[in-house]
Amino acid sequence: MVGGAPSVRATPAADRLWPALAREERREETLEGLDLFAANLQGRVTRRRVNQHERDLALAILDAARAMRDLTEASLDERIEAARQHAHRIARTNSKLDSDALREAYAVGVEAIRRTTGLTLYPEQVMGALVLRGGAVAEMATGEGKTITAVLPAALAGWTGRGVHVATVNDYLAKRDAQLCEAAYRRLGLRVGVLQENMKKAERRAQYDLDITYGADKQFIFDFLRDRLDQPLAPSIAASVLDAVTHADDTDHWTGKVVQRGLHAAIVDEADSVLIDEAATPAIIALPAGDGAGADSAERYAAGIELARELEPDRHYKADTRTHRVSLTRAGHERLAELANDPNRDLPSFWAGPRRREELVSQALSALVLHRRDDDYIVRPNKDGKREVVIVDRSTGRVLEGRQWQLGLHQAVEVKEGLDPSERRHTAARVSYQRYFARYKSLAGMTGTGWEVAPELWRTYGLRVVRVPTHRPIARVERPDRTFVSEDEKFDAVAEATRRAHDKSQPVLVGSRSVHDSERLAGLLAERGLQCKVLNARHEAEEAAIVEGAGRAGAITVATSMAGRGTDIKLDEDAREAGGLLVLAVERNHERRVDRQLFGRSGRQGDVGEAVAFVSLDDEMVVRYGLPPLRWLARVSPAPMRSMLTRVLVRQAQRAATRRWMLIREEAGRIDAWVDLAFHQRSR
């Protein structure tokens, strides 16, 4: 618990019936065809900007809050208690909170925040809080104060006594935000908890028993899965109540093992990162498969890598970078049979079976050709000092702790890197992000970039996107893309642009796509005598300090992705005089909103700044998703035409990549829906 405040009420084991009672009652079929088109269209239509009613109500709330400034502490306590009792009564009767009651509740919240933190909320922050209260995603630009904005709707939901989950992208941000807001919550009569990675089960249960619980999205979703493993299969309400009463004093009973007490309300920070980017991969709890990681396993994967390295691309196999799949050709099948049956080759007898050996070689080819070190994964020492393969999340640039690729792919990558293969695992529990967050009775979110994914948020979660105006006009200047034929030319140009800005003490933030690119650029800057801070999957521990220091005059920061970093880049006075933060994108991202996340780091709260993207015909996204004829035409055209065609090609490739990732997320939700339906049919 933040601040160490003791819990004032105990939670009986029977309260752990919530997970059983919170099961999703309706399982809608996956939309297809015209239904899917209509849902996407509706998502575009329902996204909007803050309306006049919300503006007027926000101003009325601030007026009411200003009228409370002269109240004594005791008088303010009375107003807070009256608002809390009213909110609790409304929730108990399933009534709707009227505008007058909402104005009073938010006004006491605004005044409590001012007295405890010294922060006076802007009208735009109150507008954002009203959007969240309405069960929508508030799009608020970087630096507009989303963290404090969430206090008002979270407190209002917390007064019901049913628990509120405030989810963000990592443990550091969850702890930071909880500590920042705790004093305001306590002044409003609420207790605040925060989840961290190494907490024991009893500690986790204590955090969930509090009114407001902060945590990374992975903490909430994996606690949900662990609770699933501890509770009986598809318990009914009557059976659960009877079972809990008859085992009231049994500490080993399942009601004493689960930690969550239901999924009542959630506010998701960096909503597009959590609800969209993370949704491409389901959350899975895996247990050892039992096939071991001994000599036989190591020999099996080593043989697969050995044979795969002897196959020729295009002749023996086809690698499709767009779909991220590899397939053997007819010549490949024949060549593999020759290699496997070669009497001079010492292969295990296991390889005599054609189907299994082709399966393993295909995985080995995928590991060799499609999964690249310092792009899709890194190799680093674990806590025992042994080197391990850790997957990198492309959308955020962070490592995915504890995740493994399935069906032997992870082991193939480990052998490729000269490591002993880890033990394969089987799935014990799984849920997609789509289906997990759809279980909350009340769901809202906030992000700096939700406009582009409004159709998907509406279709998947029933969330509309509402754009909140900035407190001050954006003064950032966004330059046209600079185009190049090759990556080498592009990287040299980025390094030179950085040097020129540094010479006049302008701070520079360079956004790169991969760990490899960030370190390559750091090397080019070092050759020019420039020192920089690198933020990628290898340097996550220093993330906050690196980001906070990026606004100092003359600072150079190279980061793999700014999605969900959560820390503002604040300029010092010398940096403002030098032109503000200069953002250089080493290439366009797969989705335009991720570009906006990077560019949005400049121009915070009306600051001056610049942003420009550098693109080339050799960029990964262009090669993977660009139309080959258009890429060829751009390469052979004269310079003026090439520049125009390259911009067209980049936009086309970005649209294709966005569509591809959307389909991947839809497939994850479709598979999870099928698994969930099969589970419920078996358990009847």
Q: Please state whether beta strands 283-288 and 425-431 pair in parallel, antiparallel, or not at all (unpaired).
A: antiparallel
> For position 329, what pLDDT does the model report?
86
* Four-residue CA torsion sign, 410, 415, 417, 420: positive
By CB atoms closer than 10 A (0-12, 13-18, 19+), residue 392 is buried
pLDDT at 58 over 70: yes
> For position 243, what pLDDT does the model report?
58
CB 584 within 8 A of CB 494: yes
Tokens of 507: 């701070």
pTM listed for this prediction? 0.83
All domains of the chain in start order, with CATH: 2-282+433-467 (3.40.50.300), 290-423 (3.90.1440.10), 475-616 (3.40.50.300)
Q: What are phi and psi of 434, to 5 degrees?
A: -60, -50
pLDDT at 9 over 50: no
Which of the two residues, 218 and 394, has the higher pLDDT score?
218
Q: Please report which residue ranges of 534-588 form alpha helices under DSSP H.
A: 543-548, 573-577
> For position 64, what pLDDT does the model report?
96
CB 521 within 8 A of CB 512: yes
> For position 11, what pLDDT does the model report?
47
> For position 351, what pLDDT does the model report?
62
Q: Which amino acid is at 454?
A: A
| Mean pLDDT within 419-446 | 85
CA distance 192 to 169: 18
CA distance 643 to 648: 9
Query: How many CB atoms are located within 10 Å of the residue 231 CB?
Result: 18
HSE-CB of 49 using CA atoms within 13 angstroms: 5
CB 151 within 8 A of CB 109: yes
Token pair 């005059």 is found at: 553
Confidence band (pLDDT; 50, 70, 90) for 241? low
CB 250 within 8 A of CB 636: no
Q: Please state whether beta strands 533-535 and 425-431 pair in parallel, antiparallel, or not at all (unpaired).
A: unpaired
CB 423 within 8 A of CB 414: no
Tokens of 380: 């680093």
Name which of 122-136, 190-204, 488-502, 654-668 the model is least confident about. Answer: 654-668
Q: Is 454 helix (H, G, I), strand (E, B) or coil?
A: helix
Beta bridge partners of 317: 313, 328
Which of the two residues, 144 and 34, has the higher pLDDT score?
144
pLDDT at 289 over 70: no
From 444, 445, 394, select the one nearest 278 (Cα to Cα). 394
CA distance 42 to 455: 7
pLDDT at 285 over 90: no
Tokens of 581: 């933060």
Q: Please report which residue ranges of 212-317 form alpha helices under DSSP H.
A: 217-230, 237-246, 271-272, 295-308
DSSP 8-state code for residue 366: I
| Mean pLDDT within 141-162 | 92
Q: Is 510 helix (H, G, I), strand (E, B) or coil?
A: strand
C-alpha separations of 556 from 402, 477, 520, 602, 607 in Å:
32, 19, 15, 14, 18
Tokens of 320: 């499709």
Query: How many CB atoms are located within 10 Å of the residue 334 CB?
Result: 12
> For position 293, what pLDDT does the model report?
46
CA distance 334 to 357: 12
CB 593 within 8 A of CB 272: yes
| Mean pLDDT within 330-358 | 73
- The per-residue pLDDT for range 386-396, each reduced to its tens digit, is 888 888 876 66
CB 163 within 8 A of CB 264: yes
pLDDT at 476 over 70: yes
Confidence band (pLDDT; 50, 70, 90) for 167? very high
| Mean pLDDT within 506-511 | 93
CA distance 529 to 532: 10
First to last CA, the chain: 40
CA distance 213 to 194: 5
**Helix (H), strand (E) at residue 483:** strand 482-484
- Mean pLDDT for the chain overall: 83
- The per-residue pLDDT for range 70-128, each reduced to its tens digit, is 999 999 999 999 999 988 888 777 777 888 889 999 999 999 999 999 999 999 999 99
From 30, 23, 68, select the one nearest 459 (Cα to Cα). 30
| Mean pLDDT within 203-231 | 92
> For position 8, what pLDDT does the model report?
39
| Mean pLDDT within 286-313 | 71
| Mean pLDDT within 461-490 | 93
Task: Report the C-alpha dihedral over residues 26, 29, 35, 41, rounded to 10 degrees.
Answer: 60
Confidence band (pLDDT; 50, 70, 90) for 256? low
DSSP 8-state code for residue 602: S
> For position 258, what pLDDT does the model report?
86
Tokens of 509: 């933030």
pLDDT at 385 over 80: no
CA distance 514 to 232: 43
pLDDT at 666 over 80: no
pLDDT at 185 over 90: yes
CA distance 600 to 206: 38
By CB atoms closer than 10 A (0-12, 13-18, 19+), residue 221 is buried
* Four-residue CA torsion sign, 529, 530, 536, 539: positive
Which of the two residues, 131 and 356, has the higher pLDDT score?
131
**Helix (H), strand (E) at residue 414:** helix 409-416
Q: Please state whether beta strands 325-328 and 317-320 pair in parallel, antiparallel, or not at all (unpaired).
A: antiparallel
Q: Which amino acid is at 363?
A: Q
DSSP 8-state code for residue 144: S
655: Cα separation from own chain's centroid:
21
Confidence band (pLDDT; 50, 70, 90) for 240? low
C-alpha separations of 583 from 78, 544, 597 in Å:
49, 18, 11
C-alpha separations of 303 from 306, 312, 359, 580 in Å:
5, 17, 12, 55
Report long-range pairs for 143-147 (Cβ below 8 Å, ≥24 apart).
143/568, 143/604, 143/605, 144/468, 144/470, 144/471, 144/605, 145/119, 145/121, 146/269, 146/446, 147/177, 147/180, 147/181, 147/269
DSSP 8-state code for residue 549: G
- What residues contact residue 200 under an 8 Å CB cut-off, 6+ apart? none
- The per-residue pLDDT for range 556-610, each reduced to its tens digit, is 999 886 544 556 788 989 999 999 999 999 999 888 888 888 898 888 888 999 9
